[in-house]
Structure 1
């Protein structure tokens, strides 16, 4: 493996709703790749339309290999600050879990769904050695 790449995803709540971003054919949490030197939550701010976002807590770390690169995705619960420009869709929690559960990409899908359904604790480490295999989690996460 050569290289290391960082990405971030965020859970934003409004009451019992979760903010999702359309990523055809899927729905995703706001976020994306973090460029070297870029503030960690810049992509979240850009995709949500808030002036800024404040990290509340680390929800998960997902580590996985792809195309010879080691990736690490950090999942945060965040609070939006300032005016919201209407980006994304506020979706009731059960519907958000359903939409995210149909996502093709396991390193986003699995930690997000497990956290939102209460099967994973905050700061859970998810590690894939092969994306075609089940991940190892610390602490253990019960299957769906």
Structure 2
């Protein structure tokens, strides 16, 4: 089973966003730093590593709070699990991507309202929805399940219900 981690970083009224090619469309999009959990990493370690690589923003695992866990399933089979975290940093925090894959086009602080608009354009709902929900409500500790409708589609579509409190 695959695992992914992402982080919504807040600095004052700004949200840290990266611009990168969408995994499915290859069109440049704005998103929050995220990526695959590597062998031997915990979800929070992966989030800290992805944040450092994609934005040059350095945090410790203890700086993170869990927004949500997300399960993706198809016909009862669990395909992946994702963890979305949040952290707050000083508004003057400098950004300097050091992406080893050289996919990150830009990292920038975006005002919260604009960040939410940009996130709605993200095609992958299991990353988009927890980040949007957090930016709208500030809720933490949620558990989501996303049902993949057609695994053969070029751009995946999902069904999901309201998240539950994890625990």
With the length of structure 1 as denominator, give the TM-score of the two structures. 0.80
Could you tell me which residue of structure 2 aligns to residue 112 of structure 1?
131
Work out whether 1:21 is the aligned partner of 2:14: no
Kept in 2, the 8 Å contact 1:6–1:73? The answer is yes
Could you tell me which residue of structure 2 aligns to residue 86 of structure 1?
96
Structure 1 runs not aligned, ≥5 long: none
After superposition, the Cα gap between the structure-2 partners of 1:85 and 1:133, relative to the gap in structure 1 and judged at 3 Å, is closer
What is the total number of aligned residue pairs between the two structures?
134
After superposition, the Cα gap between the structure-2 partners of 1:70 and 1:113, relative to the gap in structure 1 and judged at 3 Å, is same
Kept in 1, the 8 Å contact 2:148–2:158? The answer is yes
Q: State the distance in 1 between where 2:136 and 2:19 align.
A: 21
Q: How does 1:47-126 map to 2 (within 5 A)?
A: 47-54=54-61, 55-65=63-73, 70-79=79-88, 84-87=94-97, 88-118=107-137, 121-126=139-144
What are the superposed Cα offsets for residues 48-89 of structure 1, whole Å, 9 maximum, x if unpaired? 2023344331001111137x86211101012459x7343411
Structure 2 runs not aligned, ≥5 long: 22-27, 98-106, 150-156
Q: State the distance in 2 between where 1:70 and 1:78 align.
A: 27
After superposition, the Cα gap between the structure-2 partners of 1:69 and 1:133, relative to the gap in structure 1 and judged at 3 Å, is closer
- Root-mean-square deviation over aligned CA pairs: 2.4
TM-superposed CA distance for 1:42, in Å, is 1.3
Kept in 2, the 8 Å contact 1:53–1:78? The answer is no
More helix by share: 2
More strand by share: 1
TM-superposed CA distance for 1:20, in Å, is 0.3
What are the superposed Cα offsets for residues 6-59 of structure 1, whole Å, 9 maximum, x if unpaired? 111101111000000102321110121011113333112211202334433100
Kept in 2, the 8 Å contact 1:53–1:80? The answer is no
